[in-house]
Amino acid sequence: MTSAPLAGRLTRVDGPLFFPVTAYGPDGSPDLDVFRAHVRRGIDAGAAAVFACCGTGEFHALTPEEFRDCVTAAVEETGGQVPVVAGTGYGTALAIQYAKTAEEAGADGLLAMPPYLVVADQEGLLRHFTALAAATALETIVYQRDNAVFTPETVVGLSRVDGIIGLKDGYGDLDLMQRIVSAVRGEESGRDFLYFNGLPTAELTGLAYRGIGITLYSSAVFAFAPDIALAFHRALTSGDDRTVNRLLDGFYAPLVELRNLGRGYAVSLVKAGVRLGGLEAGGVRPPLSEPLPSHVKELAALIERGRALLGNGAEDGGTEDGGTEAGDAEAGDAEAGDAEAGDAEAGDAEAGGTRDGGTRDGSTEARA
């Protein structure tokens, strides 16, 4: 745990917010050594904060004991260099239990995911998150998505709750977000309330969210291609829209098209990217499924294309070489394995234990 308040440390950040995957060993149990190495790589690459055991970290798939061990490992590995925010979710009682476990493990804050299964009214949602925030001394960020979409009035209520410091938006309605920002700003409470773009591959909507004053965002790409994510972050925060648009057109937009080819790819494809980088993080747990081998091969080529854009600024996004050895090892025989890979849509995950949902048109997606 760091000594400084989480809200202050996140108000101005110099790097992306890092959502590490949870590494599993050959026996399927968490591999804490690999997880620590993954967290360390992110910190060394310039992460501004570590969000452990959230959507990308398969919170939904972890036992309480595994959750405790992973959060503890993240806290120990960061050594106070950056804050550690732990996921929590399910119903109110279990969410409080996970929150207390995170506090005991030394986390600096909580990302409160939607309650499990039920569709509650606004009063019930406010009661749920108020009770969760009161259960520990940890500062809490509330995650808006799926069955936890708020009216501006409810967010005003959340902003008045001691311990709730911000809202992460995974719903993607900019009209609603502008009305939320305006309503909270109108309170003139003197408190800074933070907002985060929490859409899958948030960089794709970075310019739009920046337009309404929201510059904090979760970066799944940082988990497997931190150099690309950092370049984009620097360009977005400095107003270098030429670089932003080059990376959007040549890397991020094609990545989203690839991500949309399979259910749960916002997690499983990220984990494949980590493996392409040479870190054996294992596969994903059910109900998620592994991406098709041909899609992993596409991801490897796309990463190289993104790095070529950084290296030479080429508008056409051409690649420079054949990729990394680790990427070749995983992607090289991809085409031969397609027939046996199964249907990627079979597995669907929910970071908050709800019906999930990466898009507002009814399709589903697990994410950070």
Three-class DSSP category at 155: helix
Determine whether 168 is an active site residue.
Answer: yes
What mean pLDDT do residues 204-223 have? 97
Q: Which residue has the tokens 């107003």?
A: 239
Q: Looking at per-residue confidence, does 319 or 281 come out higher?
A: 281
Q: 24, 90, 98, 143: which one is catalytic?
A: 143
Q: Cβ distance 6 to 109 under 8 Å?
A: yes
More confident residue, 277 or 341: 277
Helix (H) or strand (E) holding 49: strand 49-52
pLDDT of 149 strictly over 70 = yes
Cα distances (Å, whole numbers) of residue 10 to 19, 130, 140, 304: 15, 21, 12, 31
Task: Give the pLDDT confidence of 92-113 residue by residue, as tens digits.
Answer: 999 999 999 999 999 999 999 9
Q: Which of 24, 90, 168, 271 is catalytic?
A: 168
The CA distance from 217 to 229, in Å, is 11
**pLDDT at res. 3:** 53
pLDDT band at 367 (very low <50, low <70, confident <90, very high): low
Highest averaged pLDDT of the listed ranges 9-13, 304-308, 329-333: 304-308
The predicted structure's pLDDT at residue 187 = 87
Question: Whole-angstrom Cα distance, residue 40 to residue 37?
Answer: 5
Q: What is the mean pLDDT of the chain?
A: 88
Burial class of 191 by CB neighbour count within 10 A (0 to 12, 13 to 18, 19+): middle
Measured distance CA(67)–CA(192) in Å, rounded: 30
Residue 344 is predicted with a pLDDT of 37
Find the length of the chain.
368
Q: Under DSSP, is residue 352 helix (H, G, I), strand (E, B) or coil?
A: coil
Residue type, 137: A
What is the number of other CB atoms lying within 10 angstroms of the CB of residue 297? 24
Which percentage of the chain shows pLDDT scores above 90? 80
Q: What is the pLDDT of residue 191?
A: 78
Angle at 145 between CA 14 and CA 287, to 5 degrees: 100
- Tokens representing residue 29 in the block: 């149990």
Instruction: Tell me how many degrees the CA angle 161-109-129 measures, rounded to the nearest 5.
Output: 35
Q: Percent of the chain having pLDDT more than 70?
A: 83
